[in-house]
Amino acid sequence: MLAYLIQQSRYLLSAAALASIASGICSVLLVTQINAVLTAASFTDSTALAWRFTAVAVAAMLTRMLSSVLFERLSQRAHADLRQFISARVVTAEFRRLEEIGGPRVHSALSEHSARVAEFFVSFPAILVNAVIVAGCLIYMAWLSWQVFLAAVVVIGLGSLGYHLAHLKAIRHLGAASKEQDRLFDHFRSLVDGAKELRLNAAKRARFSRDVLGASIEKVRRERTFGMSLFSASIAWGNFLVYAFIGLVLFVLVGDVPERARVITGFALVFVYMVVPLESLLLALPRANLARVSGAQIDEITQQLEQAGRTAPTDAAPRLKHLVLQGVAHRYYHEGVDALFALGPVNLDFVPGQITYLVGGNGSGKTSLAKLLAGLYRPEQGAILFNGVPVTDANRDSYRQLFSAIFSDFHLFDQLLDGASAELDTQANALIARLCLQHKVQVRNGAFTTRALSQGQRKRLALVVAYLEDRPFLLFDEWAADQDPLFKEVFYRELLPELKARGKAVLVISHDDRYFHLADRLMRMENGQVVSIETQEHSSLPQAVNLTAAP
């Protein structure tokens, strides 16, 4: 992931890196100028040194400013590129695979992990500048005295070794904290989605707060604290070695040699000056490691998001003439029996202007069959024929454009996503009025004014969206389950006949047996099998209400 981001912004990164290197070089030159002033033979040399010092100081300021601005731009671009990349993978992924990965991991990748990777780019100029300063100081020390320089290398090596050993252990704890963070995001979602259940059961609320949410928060805190504490301890060890070396230079390593004052002053000044960049460099490394862990998490998630094949064009939905399921079968894990659940093989056909009710007990496979039919799941065996053409990975997304569906776990977007227009607003508000929601919500500029409605009311808004999409095939998964008796009557006796009159194929998953006689076909499922199909003739149907007409 980091390599991908660097490739995307390689020119901007190169310019920012060069500015950072120049800033670091200027900082080292400032140290040499200070040492030259301190050891100058006479005051007459100070004027030329002052001009050089001023020029280097201004250059250091300008290059540091340029580096910071460029890396800030790079950080924001990296964050945006990451979110675009992850979102593109999610929106084109196989639906079944997305279900298996789960929303919390995707949310974590889009928020925390992508933010950490972006933050790394903000810290990158500091890493470069401080690295250049440390390297430049070492070169200057070698020029002053190569014997003392070798001792400095040994000291820095010991400090780096201690930091590396601490790093290996700390990174394991930071990785564990990152994985627990994904689970914590799921618990945060439960905190809101399960608000009713938690308030109705004090014992469960207490256990959730203490044993689930609290335990997860505590584990993240404990793992991160331990990991970062190891980094801090290693940095303190490195600082001790630096000051110990300064003591060795002052009292042991530099004996009675020519220009002793210049050598001692130079080494002491360089080491004191190098402490802060070295400490900053070591402190920046944990952030880089966190970014590496987050990048690996994003890599893992995006690689698991199997892509769904060729993307369909965004023009009008294809025309439905005939749809056939031939020996279609699918398997998935069923929690109720703790085993794989086998759906099918199923043989069915659908034609326009036909209303089919799909009934059966909970867990019989009705919703899974609907998802297979709509192309959300890929059949493990058998074939789906659309107008005589087999549905494959190459055309599955185009096939899915046949359908508008309202599943029991539907999502209502805040916008219609059909392109805002005055005509669309008028059509949508007419439908909303027919469904008696005009006093609660309106459509303005292609967006709902509110979604703070009951589940049944939001399902009615979802029905408005499905009508406006005007697809050849409509799926309703327990749509009437959250409606009061009045709207059940409207749905079964008015809306469905209206869709049939418009030539739509309709599949309704329902438990409302009092309306079963209104279906053209009644299919029953048990344990993943279609056990019966009853065809019913209707001599007449109730007068349909035209929901597309203006109120």
List pLDDT tens digits, range 20-41: 788 878 877 887 777 777 666 5
pLDDT confidence tier of residue 315, bands split at 50, 70 and 90: low
| 3-class secondary-structure state, position 331 | strand
Give the mean pLDDT of 336-361.
87
| Secondary element (H or E) of residue 265 | helix 260-304
- Whether 415 and 447 have beta carbons less than 8 Å apart is answered as yes
Residue 351 has pLDDT above 90, yes or no: yes
pLDDT confidence tier of residue 338, bands split at 50, 70 and 90: low
Give the mean pLDDT of 155-180.
77
Cα 123 from Cα 68, distance rounded (Å): 9
pLDDT of residue 419: 73
Residue 145 has pLDDT above 90, yes or no: no
Give the mean pLDDT of 441-466.
91
pLDDT of residue 257: 56
What average pLDDT does the structure give for the chain?
Answer: 81
One-letter-per-residue 3-state SS of 78-120? HHHHHHHHHHHHHHCECHHHHHHHCHHHHHHHHHHHHHHHHHH
Sorted by where each begins, the domain ranges of the chain are 2-304, 323-535
Cα 513 from Cα 35, distance rounded (Å): 93
Q: Which CATH superfamily is domain 2-304 in?
A: ABC transporter type 1, transmembrane domain (1.20.1560.10)
Residue 77 has pLDDT above 90, yes or no: no
- Whether 352 and 387 have beta carbons less than 8 Å apart is answered as no
Residue 43 has pLDDT above 70, yes or no: no
- Whether 183 and 104 have beta carbons less than 8 Å apart is answered as yes
Pairing of β 355-360 and β 505-509: parallel
Cα 502 from Cα 491, distance rounded (Å): 15
Highest mean pLDDT among 9-13, 55-59, 86-90, 493-497: 493-497
pLDDT tens sequence across 245-297: 777 766 766 656 566 666 677 777 777 777 777 767 766 766 777 777 788 88
* 44 vs 226, residue with greater confidence: 226
Contacts for 432-435 with beta carbons within 8 Å, 24 or more apart?
Answer: 432/461, 432/464, 433/551, 434/545, 434/547, 434/551, 435/460, 435/463, 435/464, 435/487, 435/490
Name the percent of the chain lying above pLDDT 70: 84
Q: What is the CATH number assigned to the segment(s) 323-535? A: 3.40.50.300
Specify the amino acid at residue 531. Answer: V
Residue 5 has pLDDT above 50, yes or no: yes
How is residue 259 annotated by DSSP? T
- Whether 320 and 387 have beta carbons less than 8 Å apart is answered as yes
pLDDT of residue 306: 67
pLDDT confidence tier of residue 373, bands split at 50, 70 and 90: very high
pLDDT of residue 283: 66
For 44-77, b/e burial (b = at least 16 CB within 10 A) is: eeeeeeeebbeebeebbeebbebbbebbeebbeb
Angle of CA points 424, 429, 432, to nearest 5°: 130
Give the mean pLDDT of 1-17.
76
pLDDT confidence tier of residue 167, bands split at 50, 70 and 90: confident
pLDDT of residue 543: 41
